[in-house]
Structure 1
Amino acid sequence: MWHRGHPEGHARSWRALLPAPSSRAESVGAARRAVRVTVAAVAGFYPAVHLLDRPVFALYTLFVPVAFGLLSPLPGAGRRRAGTVLRAVPAAAALITLGTYLAATTWSATLGMLLVGFVLVTGASIGPRATGVVPALQLCYILACFPPYAPGTLPDRLAGLAVGATLTILCERLLLPEPRRPSYRSRVAEGLELAAHAVHGLLRDGADGRETAERLRAAGRDLRFSRTAAGCRPTGAGARDRALAQAGYATRRFLDLLAVLAPMLRAPLDLPSAMLLRGLATACADEAAALRGTRPAPGPEGFEEMIARYAAVRGVPPNLREDPHPLLRRQSTLLAAAVSAVTASAAVALATGRRRSMPGLPPEQFWYADASTPRLWWVRIADHLTPRSVVFQNAVRTASGLALARLVAGSLDLSHGFWVLLGMLTLGRTTAGATWSAVRSAAVGTLVGSLAAGALLISAGDMTEVYAALLVPTMLVAFSAGPVGGPAWGQGLFTLVVSTAFAQIAPVTWELAEDRIVDVLTGSAIGLVCGMLAWPAGARGEMRRSAGALLRATAPLVRVTVERAATGRSAPVTRADAAAELRRALWYWRIAHASYTQLRTEPPARRAADGGADWLAALNFGSRVLTGAYWLPWSQGTAWPSDAASWAREATDEVVSATLRAAHFPAGGVTVRPTPLPPGILARLPAPSVSHLVDVEVWLHSLASDLTAAVGPGSAVEDGP
């Protein structure tokens, strides 16, 4: 800990106010965005102020481009960003109208802010486009709900919205538009193409597969969402986004299983395995072509037929003289890879527009295929209507903070009180520590910017032409440096922007800078209080709770899955038996995934409070359990002999017990080694049950490995899905 008088402590404090290191791409992107926002803002603002003399109209033509172009993280390239703004205009008009009439009293405006804030943040969970426009929509209500109560100005407000949005759309489309980035669809296609190429290479020369395995694992890591631009991630609630995300998950599993399989492949391969591998390579190439739009998606039927044939003929050849166990494990691993390929194939068919039922596949996997888009939106929102969801927590934190800021600004009759809400909105973070860091930097930046603005207002006086001449360069500098420089630079430079803009709308004095300081500090204090009182740890506490709940929810599924395999019950009956556990586990998996997604956006804690837990491995464990619940047993038949069933139940008990222990994330980790198969048991089993038993063994050992990685001692991973 640094002492207050220590020179290095002062140096560290001042370093927090310097521009954060940024890549050249970030700086160039910020500069391009600054040009678009500036042109869109001043193209409507100057005529409205200097030609039409309509201050309300001018205010909205200025702030609408800033809200949509700068404060909102719109996803995608220029055309998609323009479409997002266009779709948001009706909602913005409704919020401006609502705010205009609710501004009659402080309490009505405050209650409206509470409702609007909660609905917008919760509704943003339906997809990246909704998430991107939420700050702009919040600002539309904030601008309209402040005094004076003037319903007669509503036409000017809506006209300003229309002009500002139109100019924003045109600039996003025509003026330095954002370049296209590789889509997630193309990334999945690249992964499938690599798989096809790798399989052909292994079959052709039978070389050591360790190098191939590393390439496959690297390709699987590249499919994580953290390695895809935010606007390109298929995180929407619609059927196509869900299908593309599922195709990505399944392709990652497929690549990882191929990486495990590659070192096992030694010539000569048994004929059924070689035929299945060739079929997988051809099908992967076809799926990649479908994702690139060069041919229709073939669908999963071909995969299903190949798997059915393979499951019927695989096994120990009669002339095999060595231990059959390695062969059977290789066959089980290949079958698991093929099952992931089936899931990827079905998901690709849905993602490319083949909305149809998937006969023969587990209905729980593709329940969304025939659902309407409004129903899928509602399912996504309903999933998060629980205090254990970080989406719900963010909605409560944001809505309560904005409502409190509106109540304070209205009760104290603060000049330009919407700056209070804007400060709370832009400086609020999901953790108390991150909020304090942002508030501390923003306070210094606002103070410095206000002093500069005050000096400008005193020296220029009422010379409007000076402010008009300074507005464009000030906006360009502020909108270029602010986003990459951090809260201090952003707030300080934005203070200069609003000062030069407001000085053209109405006569102002140096007191405007003083009002700016008071308003931003008030909003910062409210945001800090809300951050300290409402889930101050952000996603960290929820990640631990939701991951533990996921492990507890999936533990019964492990037992049910192995039991149905040992008893040989048919798939429809077993799906009915496990339906409740499947739905419960799926819900906890979605909650845990949302927590992990937010956790990846938060700064790391100074000390790991989770004992080195690997949250991604915990999510992978849940995904592997769900996949096994869908697809094990690979075939249905008679019950296993008593000794095989006894081994399966004993090994399952060990995995389930370790899963329940792991749900508490003990500091020493959890190590589980399922009981090995009894000696000679494979020779005593009837032929159909031998491969089936090894399928379960491979699955249980994979679960044990995931558990050890998820809860084992060490540091958490630094990458995400």
Structure 2
Amino acid sequence: MVGTSLLDRLRHRQDSRAVLGRAARLTLVASVVFYACRYGAGSSVLATYGLFGVVATGSFARLPGPASQRARILLLALPVVWALIVAGSLLAWSTWAAAGGMLVVGFVVAFAGVGNPRLVGLASAFQLFYILASFPPYQPGTLPQRLGGVTFAVVLLAAAEVLLWPDPVPVSYRQRLTRAADGVAAFLDDTADTLTDRACGRDGSRERAYDAVAALDLARNPPEWAPTAAGAQDRALRTCAAALREVLAEADRLAADAPPEPIPDLDAARLLRACAATTRAAGRDLSPGAPPVDLGDLDAAIGRAEMAYPGGVGRAAADVARLCRDATALALADSARVFAVGTRVAVGARPDGGDAYAGLFEYAHRRPWTLYRRQFLSHLAPRSAHLHSSLRLAVALAVARVAAGVLNLTHGFWVLLATLTVLRTSAVDTRVALRPAVLGTVVGAVVSGLVMFAVDDPVVYAVVLPITLILAFGAGGLLGPLWQQALFTVLLTVVFAQLSSEGWRLAETRIVDVLLGAVIGVLAGVALWPRGASRDLRRNAAGYLLASGNAVDRIVEAVLGAAAHPGPAVEDVRRRMILVDSSYCQFRSERHDPGRQPVSWDVVLSAGHHVVPGAESLLRRNPPGCLADWPEAAALLRDTARHLHSAYGDLAGAVANDRAAAPMPAPSDCVDGLNRIRPLLGAADPASVRHLVEVDRWLAGLASSLARMRPSAPVESHQG
């Protein structure tokens, strides 16, 4: 039955070849390390730490990138591994000292993932190195052997990553961004054709563009691949994704407002084609060796479009629809230029200080330490899901270390390993992980005990070690958590049968240790933030939406000359965006109650995600005070902003209190909004008309994102 199940998994899992290749690589490296250290050098300490180094970095770690990058990460991580082993070895003299160190190490290692997602994949491995070293016997004199065994294992594994059956490289975020840029550029070309010839079809380019841009959502990318690091390049990639979403949204609006009759040589169509060419070239700029994108053609097209718009007082009164289309095209071009500058920053360049967009990329001129400090401070907040997860894990591991020390367990590190295996970010996920961990351990221990009771020759276990390794790394990964835990238990038995003489009682010890660790993990999962990211997401999203509504109000008051620059309000939205994105990424990784009707958090959060990039673009073209002398326009914009502020507040209340949000009426389009004051346009200053059109169409875009949300059920609860 196991063989049939394994064959079924091999047929249906697309990554089965990669899993087996990784298993073969780890088996070969682990066998060489263990045999060389245990039988070649005759040292059980070298063998223990060498084999553990392969298991921790090869099986527990999740590393991004191609084989060469993973090998480089392993080698760069060695100093951290040494420091953790030294710390654990020196604190092993006392249970309480080791537990205190576990509390600090557990939190710091887990929380470090806030600053760089590459550390997320290494977090479990780092914790395991400290755990192993922090248990008795207290023998500081064995430190050279401990460090030597781990170093030998990591270096050999790094070489094997490159030379032996390297894993296939998944699509990186940069490649996804390049594909999305190509898709959006194709849609821009089709939209430009539609503006000049209504008979032109788009041939599915809109749907393909939306699919490609949707793949950029952080929650749809593995944590070790998502660009969530605090560094300038990752921040630039996030800026590029936001700019590309704005380009697509503006292009969609422009396509929907295309004139019923073709307008040859429309300025907006020419500008769209220039945007398409620049967007496509900028996307390819993210590929290694690609030349920097040239912004000259786009800047020239923007200059021509600005000179032709609005073109005079008479035209402003007569052709409101044309004004709205031109305003949308210019806003689109602004976002396309942001995307192009962002790709330059993402490959390591710095924006020109005199560029109008340099302020948006001010972080490119900051020191990395400053950027990391800002990101860590943003997550040191009571509602940070990442902070909660890090504290939960650190406390659970510290309690497990105290329990193992007080009970004087021979293999106490198995207790902490079980806690680390069972504990998840929510009580629901912890409960799901508990059954395979416990049942798998029991099955593996029973099998191991029977085998050890019948066979007492270490030579036999030395011979079968490679078989148990390939089963634990390969078959276990394909058959699921229960079999993985069972086969891993058998592997540990085979290894320790060659290191000690405990016999079949080793299996009994394994069961007791895992049960204790599982109980501690379950208690921590139930007692500390058991709902995982669900509640944090609701609270963070509510605060984010309220801040977005406040920022909209401040921006409108600023362009009307009634308030100071809205920079602090926009910065507040950006700071809250970091928290809500982190909560959402963790939320997407958790299980939830299938009986509840989920709401589309993508749509909820997009209502806020359009505020910051759109506001920055708007303020670059429409500085504070630009409409200060037009009271009729002020009345129109304040009325719209008031309704938007109220809608953001209602949505925030619905998210926070688990109730349905009031439906938002479909907003009037740009033309209808300006038609209300059409008699005023004839005598208005052309520049003021342009500012009014651009501010009004930005507000209409925000209203459209809110109008898409009509939940028929409470927003979300997801009890866990």
1:672 aligns with 2:661: no
Query: Cα deviation per residue 1:101-146 (whole Å; 9 max; x = unaligned)?
Result: 1000000000000000111111122223211111111111001000
User: Cα 1:472–1:535, aligned 2, differ >3 Å: closer, same or farther?
Assistant: same
Asked if 1:632 is matched to 2:627, the reply is no
Q: Give the residue type in structure 1 aligned to 2:334.
A: V
Match of 2:542 in 1: 548
Query: Which of 68, 83, 87 matches 2:57?
Result: 68
8 Å Cα contact 1:612/1:711 also seen in 2: no
Write the distance in 2 (CA, Å) between the matches of 1:524 and 1:607: 27
Partner of 1:538: 532
CA distance in 2, matches of 1:22, 1:620: 39
Change in Cα spacing, 1:624 to 1:433, as seen in structure 2 (3 Å) is same
Q: Which amino acid aligns with 1:261?
A: L
CA–CA distance in 2 between the matches of 1:321 and 1:431?
58
The one-letter code sitting in structure 2 at the alignment partner of 1:532 is V
> Is 1:276 aligned to 2:262, yes or no?
no
Structure 1 residues 374 and 131, CA gap change in structure 2 (3 angstroms): same
Aligned to 1:511: 505
User: What is the alpha-carbon distance in structure 1 between the residues aligned to residue 627 and residue 692 of structure 2?
Assistant: 12
Moved more, 289-298 or 656-665: 289-298
Name which of 528, 552, 572 aligns with 1:584.
572
Pair 1:330 & 2:316 matched: no
Name 1:697's counterpart in structure 2: 696
The letter for the 1-side match of 2:248 is L
Distance in 1, matches of 2:714 and 2:475, equals 35
Q: Distance in 2 between matches of 1:638 and 1:260?
A: 25
The 1:526/1:203 distance shift into structure 2, 3 A limit, reads same
Kept in 2, the 8 Å contact 1:196–1:282? The answer is: yes
Please report how far the alpha carbon of residue 512 of structure 1 lies from its aligned counterpart in structure 2 after TM superposition.
0.5
Aligned in 2, Cα 1:85/1:530: closer, same or farther, shift over 3 Å? same
Specify the SS of the correspondent of 2:93. coil
From 680, 685, 688, give the equivalent of 1:684: 680
Contact 1:39 1:171 in 2 (8 A): no
- Structure 2 counterpart of 1:235: 228
Determine helix, strand or coil for the equivalent of 1:488.
helix
> What does 1:222-621 align with in structure 2 at a 5 Å threshold?
222-228=215-221, 231-266=224-259, 267-269=262-264, 271-293=266-288, 295-298=290-293, 303=298, 306-315=301-310, 324-361=319-356, 365-461=360-456, 463-567=457-561, 577-608=565-596, 612-621=598-607
- Give deviations 1:318-366, integer Å, cap 9, x for gaps: 8979973433332232222212212211111101221244434356532
Name the amino acid aligned to 1:219. Answer: A
Q: When the two structures are aligned, how many residues end up with a matched partner?
A: 693
CA distance in 1, matches of 2:605, 2:302: 27
Q: Distance in 1 between matches of 2:627 and 2:553?
A: 18
Amino acid at match of 1:137: F
CA separation of 1:524 and 1:79: change in aligned 2, threshold 3 A? same
Question: Which residues of structure 2 form unaligned runs of 5+?
Answer: none
Shifted more, 518-527 versus 639-648: the winner is 639-648
The equivalent residue for 1:103 is 92
What TM-score comes out, normalization by structure 1 length? 0.90
- Change in CA separation of 1:321 and 1:241 when aligned onto 2, cut-off 3 Å: closer
Alignment match of 1:173 (pick from 139, 154, 162): 162
In structure 2, distance between residues paired with 1:148 and 1:103: 7
Distance 1:478 1:41, change over 3 A: same
Instruction: Tell me by how many angstroms 1:445 deviates.
Output: 1.0
Aligned-pair CA distance for 1:503: 0.4
Give the match for residue 13 of structure 1: none
Change (3 A) 1:436 1:229: closer
Deviation of residue 200 (structure 1)? Answer: 3.6
Cα-to-partner distance string for 1:51-104 (whole Å, 9 max, x where unaligned) = 322101100111101100101111122111111110110000011011001000
Counterpart position of 1:3: none
Inter-CA distance 390–304: structure 2 relative to 1 (3 Å threshold): farther
Q: Which amino acid aligns with 1:350?
A: V
Q: What is the alpha-carbon distance in structure 2 between the residues aligned to residue 26 and residue 215 of structure 1?
A: 26
In the TM superposition, what is the alpha-carbon distance from 1:286 to its structure 2 partner?
2.7
Q: Percent identity?
A: 34
More displaced, 39-48 or 674-683? 674-683
- How far the C-alpha of 1:622 sits from its partner, in A, is 1.9
Matched, 1:648 2:637: yes
What does the per-residue CA deviation read over 1:510-540, in whole Å, with 9 as the maximum and x for residues that have no partner? 1100110111111111111111111101111
Contact 1:553 1:581 in 2 (8 A): yes
Give how far 1:689 is off.
Answer: 2.9
Contact 2:53–2:154, Cα closer than 8 Å, also in 1: yes
The separation in 2 between residues aligned to 1:558 and 1:210, in whole angstroms, is 36
Give the secondary-structure state (helix, strand or coil) at the position aligned to 2:213.
Answer: helix
Letter in 1 for 2:704: S
Contact 1:213 1:262 in 2 (8 A): no
State the shift of 1:226 in Å: 4.6
Q: How does 1:47-196 map to 2 (within 5 A)?
A: 47-196=36-185
Deviations 1:602-660 (A, max 9, x none): 1132343xx74432223322221112331225335453532221111111111101111
Residue deviations 1:293-341, cap 9 Å, x none? 4543236676456445433422378897997343333223222221221
Cα deviation, residue 418, structure 1: 0.1
Instruction: Check 1:363–1:531 CA distance in 2 against 1; reply closer, same or farther (3 A cut).
Output: farther
Distance 1:587 1:302, change over 3 A: farther
Q: CA RMSD in A?
A: 2.8
Tell me the amino acid that sits aligned with residue 622 of structure 2. Answer: S
Letter in 2 for 1:488: L
| Pair 293,507 (structure 1): closer, same or farther in 2 beyond 3 Å | closer
Residue aligned with 1:368, SS? helix
Answer yes or no: is the 8 Å Cα contact 1:200–1:278 preserved in 2. Answer: yes
Q: CA deviation at 1:507?
A: 1.5
> Can you give the 5+ residue segments of structure 1 that lack an aligned partner in the other structure?
1-15
Counterparts of 2:217 and 2:615 in 1: how far apart (Å)? 24
**CA contact 2:187–2:202 (8 Å) conserved in 1:** no
- For 1:221, the equivalent position in structure 2 comes to 214
Give me the whole-angstrom Cα distance separating, in 1, the residues matched to 2:560 and 2:75. Answer: 57
User: CA offsets, 1:560-593, max 9 Å, x none?
Assistant: 11122334x8xxxx7x632221222111111000
Structure 2 vs 1, CA of residues 300 and 237 (structure 1 numbering), >3 Å: closer, same or farther? farther
Partner SS state of residue 69, structure 2 = helix
Q: Say whether the 8 Å CA contact 1:210–1:263 is kept in structure 2.
A: no
Query: Could you say if the C-alpha distance between residues 268 and 319 of structure 1 is closer, same or farther in structure 2, counting changes exceeding 3 Å?
Result: farther
Relative to structure 1, is the Cα distance of residues 322 and 369 closer, same or farther in structure 2, using a 3 angstrom cutoff?
closer
Which range moved further: 578-587 or 489-498? 578-587
Cα deviation digits, residues 677-717 of structure 1 (max 9, x gap): 37451342223333332322322222223224456335989
Post-superposition shift, 1:500? Answer: 0.3
Amino acid at match of 2:534: R
Letter in 2 for 1:598: Q
Residue pair 2:351, 2:361 contacting (<8 A) in 1 also: no
Q: After the TM superposition, which of the residue ranges 349-358 and 467-476 deviates more from structure 2? A: 349-358
* In structure 2, distance between residues paired with 1:358 and 1:613: 43
Instruction: Output the amino acid matched with 1:667.
Output: R
AA partner of residue 216 (structure 1) = A
**Structure 1 pair 557–139 and aligned structure 2 pair: CA distance change class (3 A):** same
Q: Hey, what's the Cα distance between the residues in 1 that align with 2:353 and 2:663? A: 39
